[in-house]
């Protein structure tokens, strides 16, 4: 019986996906939302502090588990790293470091800068690798292009949020430029796939929410770089708001989907939209923006709590650790 248990554990480990790092993105994004809410609308600071510690704990557990998978099942990791869709989830690791660098700025600027530098270097490497794969490998097909391809791009747009505070203005503009230009290119490719080719498989439908993240994060980063609100910042904010409305109008389709780890694609884009709305409230106060930011904070918190419960249930049952 013990041998069966050990065998089952190793089987689960082999199929432990890199997509788990999307959990850290969502949780850290929620931490940042509550940090902003504490600063702008006097929300309890304790909530963001508890969320930060929980996010760090989840990150350490996932990183340690995936590191153990690399030791025990190196080939499985390599197969995932070269998979045309799954490889896009590896940059979620470096994005998690960048997000934690933002979240820890209020705790320790030194720690934040170390996390920021490590995240930037790793993410640049991931971005170069993924773009290199797209450029030179003939195995990619239209069906492989999904909103998950935005993940390597979104990380670049995130860099200025902490980078400006660390005095790295030109480096921040460098990463922001990469993210902005390739976001537009990839958005065109993804929309072409969605409009004129087979629809996304049900398992990947939640990744449509990733479309919201680039303009929402772009708005936050641009405000940091520009130092204030202008018309280009408004374009980014309202583009994110429109995409959010578009996807919420499709809510009946999303409620029919069984639980997959791809559900975590709901979390970070919603958190980014919440932070963007709180920032817009600070820059352009109005009753509408206050109500929008409050509603998004409540919805995002509820969605991530639901995702945690569903994920723990799926982990307990072993539903996640299955071969595709």
Q: What is the CATH number of the domain that holds 277?
A: 1.50.10.150
For the entire predicted model, the pTM comes to: 0.91
DSSP string, 149-192: GGHHHHHHHHHHHHHTTTT-HHHHHHHHHHHHHHHHHHHHHHHH
**Is 324 inside any structural domain?**
no
Q: Diameter of the chain by CA atoms?
A: 65
Q: Which two tokens stand for residue 168?
A: 């790295």
Residue with tokens 């479309």, as numbered in its chain: 211
Instruction: Give the count of beta carbons closer than 10 Å to the beta carbon of residue 47.
Output: 17
Q: What is the pLDDT of residues 29-87, one digit of tens each?
A: 999 999 999 999 999 999 999 999 999 999 999 999 999 988 888 888 888 888 877 88
Given a contact cutoff of 8 angstroms between Cβ atoms, the answer to whether 237 and 219 are in contact is yes
Q: What average pLDDT does the chain have?
A: 89
Instruction: Give the count of beta carbons closer than 10 Å to the beta carbon of residue 179.
Output: 25
- The yes-or-no verdict on residue 317 having pLDDT over 90 is no
pLDDT grade for 3, boundaries at 50, 70 and 90: very low
**Is 224 inside any structural domain?**
yes
**Is 322 inside any structural domain?**
no
Burial class of residue 31 in the structure, from the number of CB atoms within 10 Å of its CB (0-12 exposed, 13-18 middle, 19+ buried):
buried
Range of the domain at 84: 12-317
- Alpha-carbon gap, residue 153 to 95, rounded angstroms: 10
**Is 51 inside any structural domain?**
yes
Most confident of the ranges 13-22, 144-153, 207-216: 207-216
Q: What is the pLDDT of residue 9?
A: 57
Average pLDDT value for residue range 151-172: 94
- Alpha-carbon gap, residue 161 to 172, rounded angstroms: 8
pLDDT grade for 1, boundaries at 50, 70 and 90: very low
Q: Select the more confidently predicted residue: 137 or 182.
A: 182
**Is 179 inside any structural domain?**
yes
Most confident of the ranges 98-102, 152-156, 208-212: 98-102
- Alpha-carbon gap, residue 117 to 127, rounded angstroms: 15
Given a contact cutoff of 8 angstroms between Cβ atoms, the answer to whether 218 and 269 are in contact is no
Q: Which two tokens stand for residue 93?
A: 């690791």
**Is 63 inside any structural domain?**
yes
**Is 86 inside any structural domain?**
yes
Q: How many structural domains are present in the chain? A: 1
**Is 240 inside any structural domain?**
yes
């Amino acid at each position: 019986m013990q041998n069966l248990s050990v065998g089952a554990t190793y089987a689960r480990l082999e199929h432990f996906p890199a997509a788990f790092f999307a959990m850290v993105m969502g949780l850290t994004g929620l931490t940042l939302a509550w940090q902003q809410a504490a600063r702008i609308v006097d929300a309890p600071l304790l909530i963001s502090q508890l969320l930060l510690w929980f996010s760090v704990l989840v990150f350490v557990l996932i990183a340690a588990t995936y590191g153990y998978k690399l030791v025990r099942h190196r080939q499985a990791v390599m197969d995932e790293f070269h998979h045309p869709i799954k490889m896009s989830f590896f940059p979620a690791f470096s994005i998690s470091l960048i997000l934690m660098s933002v979240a820890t700025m209020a705790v320790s600027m030194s720690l934040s800068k170390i996390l920021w530098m490590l995240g930037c270097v790793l993410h640049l490497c991931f971005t170069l690798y993924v773009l290199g794969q797209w450029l030179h490998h003939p195995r990619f097909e239209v069906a492989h292009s999904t909103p998950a391809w935005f993940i390597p791009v979104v990380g670049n747009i995130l860099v200025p949020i902490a980078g400006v505070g660390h005095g790295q203005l030109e480096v921040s503009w460098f990463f922001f430029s990469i993210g902005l230009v390739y976001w537009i290119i990839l958005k065109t490719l993804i929309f072409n796939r969605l409009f004129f080719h087979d629809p996304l498989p049900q398992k990947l439908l939640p990744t449509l929410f990733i479309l919201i993240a680039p303009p929402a994060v772009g708005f936050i980063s641009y405000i940091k770089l520009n130092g204030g609100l202008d018309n280009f910042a408004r374009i980014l904010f309202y583009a994110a708001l429109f995409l959010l409305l578009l996807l919420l109008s499709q809510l009946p389709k999303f409620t029919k989907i069984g639980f997959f780890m791809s559900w975590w694609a709901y979390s970070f884009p919603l958190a980014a939209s919440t932070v963007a709305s709180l920032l817009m409230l600070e820059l352009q106060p109005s009753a509408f923006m206050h109500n929008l930011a409050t509603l998004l904070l409540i919805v995002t918190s509820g969605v991530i709590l639901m995702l945690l419960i569903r994920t723990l249930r799926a982990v307990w049952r072993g539903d996640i650790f299955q071969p595709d």
